[in-house]
Amino acid sequence: MKDAVRIQQDDFSQDEEIKALKACSLRMGGIATFVGCARDFSAGRTVSQISFDAYGSMALSEMNQLRLDAIEKYSLLDARIVHRLCTVTAGENIVFIAAGAEHRVAALDACRWMIDELKVRVPIWKKEVTPEGDAWLTSHP
């Protein structure tokens, strides 16, 4: 089984991730997922590609800690975080987050919390390639 927290170039399978999440406990009654994907338009500009840079070792450590924090904070049964580092075009997946809990409220709240925290805690940077030139994003809407 793949690690619950990963940074990888290749796309992920949501079905495989959810299957892995469910495998940890039959007590899981609610699973919430978030998939972040590339848009073709941002801040008034057409975006043709998005590329990434990361402080890989720290990013992976932070993502692992983020998963543990979420499990503790929301009493989750399990959680998974996968972030791609490659060049993506519109519609392609970037990040997958899943939270599994006994009930839906904890799963939903934890999923939202994890993506919000990832954006401020994990050293990954996104660069948008546009016809007007490339631009690193330094905000996290």
Please say which residue, 78 or 117, places its beta carbon nearer to other proteins.
117
- The helix (run of H) or strand (run of E) holding residue 125 is strand 124-130
Q: Is 98 in the site for other proteins (CB under 8 A)?
A: no
> Which of 9-17, 20-28, 40-48, 112-120 is the region at the interface with other proteins (rule: CB under 8 A)?
112-120
Site string for other proteins, 44-83 (x = CB under 8 A): --------xxxx-xxx-x---------------------x
Which x/- pattern over 2-41 shows residues binding other proteins (rule: CB under 8 A)? Answer: ----------------------------------x-----
What are the tokens at 131? 């016809």
Name which of 49, 42, 40, 37 is nearest 11 in CA terms: 37
CB of 76 or CB of 122, closer to other proteins: 122
Give the C-alpha distances (Å, rounded to integers) separating 98 from 22, 31, 46, 137: 10, 7, 30, 25
Query: How far apart (Å, rounded) are the C-alpha atoms in residues 128 and 141?
Result: 15
Residue 113 backbone dihedrals phi, psi, to 5 degrees: -65, -40
Q: Which residue has the tokens 């299957």?
A: 19
Evaluate whether 76 touches 23 at the Cβ level (below 8 Å).
no
Site membership for other proteins, residue 126 (CB under 8 A): yes
Binding-site ranges for other proteins (CB under 8 A): 36, 52-55, 57-59, 61, 83, 94-95, 115, 118-127, 136-140
